């Protein structure tokens, strides 16, 4: 039996608000960039059963490194700034299986 999804891309979209003591990913635009990733994956024909699922996540507790996303099942964590970074994660990691070292978190 095959996996329902080959990979999951989880985007933290937690928002503590502008006055919070700790940063939060959505204050850096993570919800909009997650929507971009979802559209891009669909446009590339990568979405659906047996392929890639782009998910929303609550706090992943790496707030000071954010915004963050993580690819499972590999468990590779990334930070990103803009659509170009998200596109690189999709094309390099999700399509070609090559993690993007410059965006990878330790």
| Domains observed in the chain | 7-103 (3.40.30.10)
The predicted pLDDT at position 63 comes to: 83
State the pTM of this model.
Answer: 0.93
The predicted pLDDT at position 50 comes to: 92
CA distances from residue 54 to 7, 12, 18, 24, 30 in whole angstroms, order as listed: 9, 11, 26, 19, 13
The predicted pLDDT at position 1 comes to: 44
Q: Could you tell me the mean pLDDT of each successive run of 10 residues in the chain, 106 residues long?
A: 83 92 92 98 95 95 92 97 98 97 96
Q: How far is CA 71 from the centre of its chain?
A: 7
The predicted pLDDT at position 10 comes to: 98
Q: Which residues contact 45 (CB under 8 A, 6 or more apart)?
A: none
């Amino acid at each position: 039996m095959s996996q329902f999804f080959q990979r999951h891309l989880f985007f933290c979209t937690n928002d503590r608000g502008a006055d919070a003591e700790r940063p939060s990913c959505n204050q850096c635009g993570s919800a909009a960039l997650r929507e971009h990733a979802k559209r891009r994956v669909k446009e590339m024909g990568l979405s659906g059963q047996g392929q890639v699922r782009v998910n929303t996540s609550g706090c992943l507790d790496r707030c000071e490194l954010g915004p963050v996303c993580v690819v499972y099942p590999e468990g590779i964590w990334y930070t990103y700034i803009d659509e170009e970074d998200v596109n690189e994660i999709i094309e390099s990691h999700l399509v070609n299986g090559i993690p993007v070292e410059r965006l990878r978190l330790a």
